[in-house]
Amino acid sequence: MTPTVQKYLTQTKMNDLYIISTAVLVSASCGLLGVFLILRKMAMVGDAISHAVLPGIVLAFLFSGNRDSITVLIGAMVLGILASVLIEVIHKKARLQEDAAIGVTFTWLFAIGVILITLFSRQIDLDQDCVLYGEIAYVPLDLWFLESGVNLGPRALWVAAGLFIVVILFVTLGYKGLQITSFNEEFAVSVGISAIVWHYLLMGMVSAVTVASFEVVGAILVVALLVGPAASAYLLSKRLPTMLVLTIVFGVLSSISGYYLAKYLEGSIAGAIATMTGFWFTLSLAISKIKKPRSVVSKQG
Amino acid sequence: MEAFIDFFSFHDPNVRLVVLGMLFISLSSSLVGSFAFLQKKSLVGDAVAHSLLPGIAIAFMISGSKSPWVLILGALISGWISILIMDFLTKRSKIKTDTAIALVLSVFFGLGILLLTHIQHSYFGNQSGLDKFLFGKAASLTLIDIQAFGLVTLVIVALVGVFYREFKLLSFNYEFAKAIGMPVKALSFLMNTLLVLAITTGIQAVGVVLMAALIIAPAAAAKIWTYSLSKMILIAMGFALFSSLVGSFISYTYINMPTGPWIVVILTFFTVMSLLFAPKRGVFSRIKRQRENSLKINTENILKALYHLEEGKSTLFEWHKLDQILEKRTFNKVTLNNSLRQLSKKNWIVLGEQKVKLSKAGELEARRVVRLHRLWEMYLTKRMNFKSDHIHSNAETIEHIITPEIERDLILELGTPKVDPHSSEIPYSD
Amino acid sequence: MSKETFDLALEVHNLTVSYNRKPVLWDIDFSLPQGKLIGIVGPNGSGKTTLLKTIMGLLEPDSGYVEVKGKPLKEVRNQVSYVPQRESVDWDFPADVMDVVKMGRYRKGNILKRLSQDDKRIAIESLEKVDLLEFSNRQIGELSGGQQQRVFIARALAQQGEVYLMDEPFVGVDAATEDAILKLLVEMKSKGKTVIIVHHDLQTAYEYFDWMVLLNTRLVACGPKEEVFTKEKLQEAYGGRLTVLSKIGDLISKKEFPIREKGFSEKK
């Protein structure tokens, strides 16, 4: 093995590591929040928010001039919360049924986002493909250099790590609040706990996570990561802590297997990871059926 | 202006193609979407749109052809499969409906993207024709595409026509349809097929992500205007058609502008306008109704106050100072003036300088309201066993709602009572 | 309604409540004494659950107010325990029996903190009282209806309230569980607790409760059971709909009429 090939291989392995680590951190962050989304039967609201933040990202990008800033994060978070407020208003005040309120809101916001991208295509460096499925493969290329010239590694990896820490803090600190408002909202309110506050806290966090993951993995993958691993964990968990841990496990499995699948097929990594969330879900479903064969489940709630 | 004439004179064959394509797509999407909307399956439409992608990719990979028929077949199969899976998950596992939809949506779409990008890399960019499914490229529709759309639309319209009554019952009352022995499973399968077909053509105009709008928005906008299903469908089609024409026009005029998003923006505009301005159920209609209610309440209260001022006195139709009315009730200035104006318009009072007096007609009307108040108090006391200190405030509200029909019912049930629970005489119009 | 001079557990004043713009409760006014087992009964759709939810602050009344032990609910929340209907919860939720009972120790004040040892002890004791301690680690979806109900009651016990409000706790519950719950309620009463229960079954109501509230959109009767459970009162509550009243209700809903004249008040 020549030194150049060896160097290339090591470098590739390093790139692999960067990409996979970023994917793992993003999927863990999305998954943990996704647990509460599916327990509250709000999976599609999560889908809606991930589309609705697009105009926020574009506008913030325009104002701040670059795509990596806090402005983008805040701008999109605002839009995520705005979207969930809009859905509520259209549903309650204009009296449109909830599924239609969700559908109309997020398609409209996403359409505006795409139009804005086209209008300002010169000032901003986003294209439709990137928006849909990001390009996590570029992660190793976008390195973060300090003034002193020290290479801290890929910027996206740092963002993902920061995100993960924030999510862990949120879920740990807010565990009881999220748990009780997801399980029995009426009881929570009767004890004086504000269901509305926890709702909007969760929506805000989902918006933030969506945005931060957006650039790396695009809109569609975010949904897959919000819902897939959590759904897989749901089938196999008796208790909430288990579900949270298993979600991370499934997220990790999907990220790693997805990465290698993409490499093998020379296709989109984001798409592959999304596909693999489906694979692991099927496996989890099979395991759950074996553990407890029930042909008809009594539906409640 | 020139562009407008250029476009709508349809002498450009490309424009003709686009317009025709849009016509077909609007018709089929809004038609199918109306039923999906009624069954609260709008988001299933969203999931199906995303689920078509892998079918299209695989169809291309197997056949090597980009013929619309091949791709439609692939889309159909993967669309069917996605519906089956969503159904299975919801019925046979702990997974709830919303999670099933989101899961299927993202996994299938991810698979589709994976395959599309794989094709892109291994078939040297030959997948350019497949891109239009992702984002919709209404501007570059070919004759073959239009033929396919036309046929699909024809099939959809024909089948809906044949099974109209069955689809209608299925959408409005599934349980009842099942109970009377309709083959609900087969019919649902048929409806799902039509949904998938419509979406397959639709995504070529607006793309996968925005397809849901073509299904949901026309129906959402139309429903609030009518209670009739057929009218709703026609209105939905109208909205859809108009939006897609305007959207196409915009992207024809401004080359860079994508068609899909503009269609969605215009459609949403119609939806919001409908929700706000539709008669009876629209937001502004409701506000107007509430204002009318308030006006009625206020004017009737003034009449009552005047009546009370004269009750039991020997001389009627006297001038009363506004202050005297304000002694009986609080009104803010604007409300008072509005109400007085309305009463004067109806010739129930005569306006003077800071004073008013009842007209003959006004006295009858005042009598009516007082009568209703006292009848209702009797009803509360005799039939509902309310305590005497509870009936007054209740009657203050209800006296304004009681219709002549209900008044007759009350008089009948109570046996034409002469006095109310406070021993005040009940004034009948003799 | 007879009023005796003991402390009142609950006072409801002129309560009017709408659901979907239609008035479901009209001018409800009653008081309940402490230390009794009280049943709220009435036909379907009479507003029983709405009443309970309004008392718990889950619904906003159009008019009137509620006081628990002489104070608004906000001030005495830690003295009131609420047991919602069993069907209001998704029993597929990933939680075991102990998790749910521990939720009885959650308060606004401690929501961000971990539960204390004391909290855990109380949870265990509550489970013992309903005889479910061995099921602590069972996932709640695996329980029978009766067991699920007992978990809910254990959670309420863990709240250590003085006044308990329960929404149809005997629905879908086996006979043995029903007896066990009743025994528990009697024991709670002997300790001075007040238990107010929306009950679905008229036949057992007389047997189980000391006081009763007879409801059908408006208050029909309230008082010791012998006074309330008379033929006339029952006839009035259960004997068919008041057509005029329901016509009015429909009209109010259709025309979106305001239930209470806000801002058009009379001067006395």
DSSP B358: E
Domain span including residue B326? 282-430
Distance CA A22, CA A140 (A): 10
Chain B, nearest residue to A278 by Cα: B107
Confidence of residue C267 (pLDDT cuts 50, 70, 90): low
Residues of A in contact with B132 (CB under 8 A): none
Tokens matching residue B337: 């003036």
Closest residue by Cα to residue C79 from A194, A184, A190, A193:
A190
Q: Which of the pair, B276 or B356, is modelled with greater confidence?
A: B276
**Domain-located, residue B271:** no
The answer on pLDDT for A148 being more than 60 is no
- CB contact under 8 Å between C99 and A192, yes or no, is no
**Domain-located, residue B67:** yes
Residues of C in contact with B301 (CB under 8 A): 264
CA B295-B300-B301 angle, to 5 degrees, is: 100
Domain positions in chain C: 8-255
> Which spans in B311-359 are helix H?
322-328, 333-345
Distance CA B303, CA B363 (A): 8
The answer on pLDDT for B95 being more than 70 is yes
Same-domain check for residues B56 and B146: yes
- CB contact under 8 Å between C248 and B400, yes or no, is no
Q: Which of the pair, A233 or A94, is modelled with greater confidence?
A: A233
For domain C8-255, give the fold.
Rossmann fold (3.40.50)
pLDDT at residue A299 in the model: 39
In three-state secondary structure terms, B352 is coil
Cβ atoms of B267 and B239 within 8 Å: the answer is yes
**Domain-located, residue A9:** no
The answer on pLDDT for C81 being more than 60 is yes
- CB contact under 8 Å between C29 and B387, yes or no, is yes
- CB contact under 8 Å between B262 and A231, yes or no, is no
C82 touches chain A (CB under 8 A): yes
Mean predicted confidence (pLDDT) in A145-164: 71
Confidence of residue B323 (pLDDT cuts 50, 70, 90): confident
Same-domain check for residues B192 and B291: no
Residues in chain B: 430
Q: Of the spans B100-104, C28-32, C226-230, which averages the highest pLDDT?
A: B100-104
- Count Cβ atoms below 10 Å from residue A260 Cβ, excluding itself: 14
DSSP B125: T
Mean predicted confidence (pLDDT) in A254-277: 92
Residues of C in contact with B290 (CB under 8 A): 256, 258
**Window B:132-151, CB contacts with A under 8 Å:** 134-135
**Domain-located, residue A5:** no
- CB contact under 8 Å between A190 and C74, yes or no, is no
Closest residue by Cα to residue B149 from B82, B75, B209, B233:
B75
Residue A41 — φ and ψ, nearest 5°?
Answer: 60, 40
CATH code for the domain of A126: 1.10.3470.10
Confidence of residue C248 (pLDDT cuts 50, 70, 90): confident
Q: Which of the pair, B2 or C210, is modelled with greater confidence?
A: C210
- CB contact under 8 Å between B99 and A90, yes or no, is no
Q: Which of the pair, A239 or A45, is modelled with greater confidence?
A: A239
Same-domain check for residues B294 and B415: yes
A272 touches chain B (CB under 8 A): yes
Nearest to B110 among A42, A103, A271 (CB): A271
Confidence of residue C268 (pLDDT cuts 50, 70, 90): very low
Mean pLDDT of the residues in chain C = 88
Confidence of residue B309 (pLDDT cuts 50, 70, 90): confident
**Domain-located, residue A47:** yes
Q: What is the largest CA-CA distance in chain A?
A: 71
Spatial neighbors of B6 by CB under 8 A, at least 6 apart, are B12, B15
Task: Kindly report, residue by residue over B207-248, the tens digit of the pLDDT.
Answer: 888 888 999 999 999 999 999 999 999 999 999 999 988 888
B283 touches chain A (CB under 8 A): yes
Taking the CA of residue C81 and the nearest CA in chain A, the distance in Å comes to 8
Tokens matching residue C205: 């109501």
- CB contact under 8 Å between C92 and A179, yes or no, is no
Decide the pairing of beta strands A143-145 and B320-321.
unpaired
pLDDT at residue A144 in the model: 57
- CB contact under 8 Å between A39 and C100, yes or no, is no
Decide the pairing of beta strands B320-321 and B355-358.
antiparallel
Q: ipTM beyond 0.85?
A: yes
**Domain-located, residue B309:** yes
Same-domain check for residues B85 and B189: yes
Mean pLDDT of the residues in chain B = 87
Q: How many CA atoms lie within 13 A of B7 on its CB side?
A: 18
**Domain-located, residue A140:** yes
- Per the structure, the count of domains in chain B is 2
Task: Kindly report, residue by residue over A276-293, the tens digit of the pLDDT.
Answer: 999 999 999 999 999 876
Residue type at B143? Answer: L
Number of H helices and number of E strands within chain B? 19, 3
The answer on pLDDT for A153 being more than 70 is no
Same-domain check for residues B23 and B154: yes
Sign of the dihedral defined by the CA atoms of residues B342, B347, B353, B355, in that order: negative
Residue type at A286? Answer: A
How many Å is the Cα radius of gyration of chain A?
20
Q: How far is CA C91 from CA A269, C88, C140, C147, C171, in A?
A: 37, 9, 6, 12, 16
DSSP B163: T
pLDDT at residue A90 in the model: 93
Q: How far is CA C25 from CA B237, B394, B397, C62, in A?
A: 44, 12, 15, 10
For chains A and C, count residue pairs whose Cβ atoms are closer than 8 Å.
87
**Domain-located, residue B46:** yes
Distance CA C121, CA A110 (A): 52
- Per the structure, the count of domains in chain A is 1
Spatial neighbors of B189 by CB under 8 A, at least 6 apart, are none
Percent of chain B with pLDDT over 70: 96
Q: What is the 3-state secondary structure (H, E, C) of chain A?
A: CCHHHHHHHHHHHHHHHHHHHHHHHHHHHHHHHHHHHHHCCCHHHHHHHHHHHHHHHHHHHHHHCCCCCHHHHHHHHHHHHHHHHHHHHHHHCCCCCHHHHHHHHHHHHHHHHHHHHHHCCCCCCCCHHHHHHCCHHHHHHCEEECCCCCEEEEHHHHHHHHHHHHHHHHHHHCHHHHHHHHHCHHHHHHCCCCHHHHHHHHHHHHHHHHHHHHHHHHHHHHHHHHHHHHHHHHHHCCCHHHHHHHHHHHHHHHHHHHHHHHHHHCCCHHHHHHHHHHHHHHHHHHHHHHHCCCCCCCCCC
pLDDT at residue A297 in the model: 45
Q: What is the pTM of this model?
A: 0.88
Taking the CA of residue C229 and the nearest CA in chain A, the distance in Å comes to 31
- CB contact under 8 Å between A274 and B281, yes or no, is no
Q: What is the largest CA-CA distance in chain B?
A: 103
The answer on pLDDT for A68 being more than 80 is no
Distance CA A40, CA A241 (A): 16
Domain span including residue A51? 15-286
Task: Kindly report, residue by residue over B109-124, the tens digit of the pLDDT.
Answer: 999 989 988 887 776 5
